[in-house]
């Protein structure tokens, strides 16, 4: 078995409509995570902007434009702190300017943009508390699973509502994923009942580490998010979890343990469908 360990950080934010304020908060938390030994830092969905759709369109950037404010900040942070950063999602300009993609970005510790993933499953729901959300009205969906090499691990990318679709994670594991990231802004109502159960299920069935970054608290337009950023190991055990505050948790992921789990219970090799 290959002995390879990596300290990772799952970040918890309370992002608002002010991009500059959000980016300052991100600078602080990434610096803190790096000081705590993290080499990979995962930021939640809506990390740079959490507000009205018209504002989301106005701050959208073209993926790969490292002169644009959001991506320039992430690239500089990764380089300064010498950490890989996975940041998702943020509004990425696409062919329809009125419907930006919801995109997860992957930066190497050099500041290079490695790849991006566009959220496939969009959150169109009417919740029992009267909250109605229609992400597809203002967001173009992506179509492709994405796995990236990050700090010597194969990392499968997803965003928030994707978590409810196990077939996406099967596709990521089939592409070699050992670690699954879930940057999210789960609502308080759904999070309190489903967040932990779904994340542990994805870890167990995929026999992979799961790093779930989260939004927490109150946001514009009456949104309240659940928080509880966490890391789950391939056996389904939560090994680190945030309390109700802005901040981060760190955990060590270990390829030797991952390979041990996959060898001891080789369910991934037993798939028939």
| Residues recognised as catalytic | 45, 119, 160
Max distance between CA atoms of the chain, in angstroms, equals: 51
Q: Judging by beta carbons within 10 Å of its beta carbon (0-12, 13-18, 19+), is residue 230 exposed, middle or buried?
A: buried
269: Cβ–Cβ under 8 A, 6 or more apart, which residues?
none
Contact (Cβ atoms closer than 8 angstroms) between residue 108 and residue 84? yes
Q: Where does residue 269 fall: left (phi above 0), alpha (psi -120 to 50 degrees), or beta otherwise?
A: alpha
Provide the pairing of β-strand 5-13 with 40-43: parallel
The DSSP secondary structure of 92-129, one letter per residue, reads E--S-TTS-EEEEEEE-TTS-EEEEEE--S--EEE-TT
Calculate ∠ Cα 11-212-249, nearest 5°: 40
Residue 48 CB contacts under 8 Å (≥ 6 apart), including other chains: 15, 19, 22, 23, 26, 59, 70, 87, 90
């Amino acid at each position: 078995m290959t002995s390879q360990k990596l300290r990772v950080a799952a970040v918890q934010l309370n992002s608002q409509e002010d991009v500059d304020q959000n980016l300052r908060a991100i600078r602080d938390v990434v610096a803190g995570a790096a000081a705590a030994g993290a080499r990979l830092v995962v930021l939640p969905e809506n990390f740079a902007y959490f507000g009205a759709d018209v504002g989301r369109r106005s701050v959208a950037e073209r993926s790969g434009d490292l002169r644009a404010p959001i991506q320039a900040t992430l690239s500089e942070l990764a380089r300064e702190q010498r950490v890989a950063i996975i940041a998702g999602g943020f509004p990425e300009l696409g062919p329809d300017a009125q419907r930006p993609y919801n995109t997860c970005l992957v930066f190497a510790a050099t500041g290079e943009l490695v790849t991006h993933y566009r959220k496939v499953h969009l959150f169109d729901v009417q919740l029992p508390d009267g909250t109605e959300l229609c992400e597809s009205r203002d967001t173009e969906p992506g179509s492709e699973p994405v796995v990236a090499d990050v700090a010597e691990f194969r990392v499968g990318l997803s965003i928030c509502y994707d978590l409810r679709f196990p077939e996406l994670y099967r596709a990521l594991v089939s592409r070699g994923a050992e670690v699954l990231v879930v940057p999210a802004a789960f609502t308080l109502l759904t999070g309190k009942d489903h967040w932990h159960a779904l994340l542990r299920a994805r870890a167990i069935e995929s026999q992979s580490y799961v790093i779930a970054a989260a939004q927490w608290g109150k946001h514009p337009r009456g949104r309240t998010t659940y928080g509880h950023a966490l890391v789950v190991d391939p056996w389904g055990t939560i090994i680190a979890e945030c309390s109700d505050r802005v901040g981060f948790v760190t955990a060590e992921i270990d390829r030797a343990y991952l390979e041990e789990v996959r060898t001891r219970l080789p369910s991934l090799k037993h798939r028939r469908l």
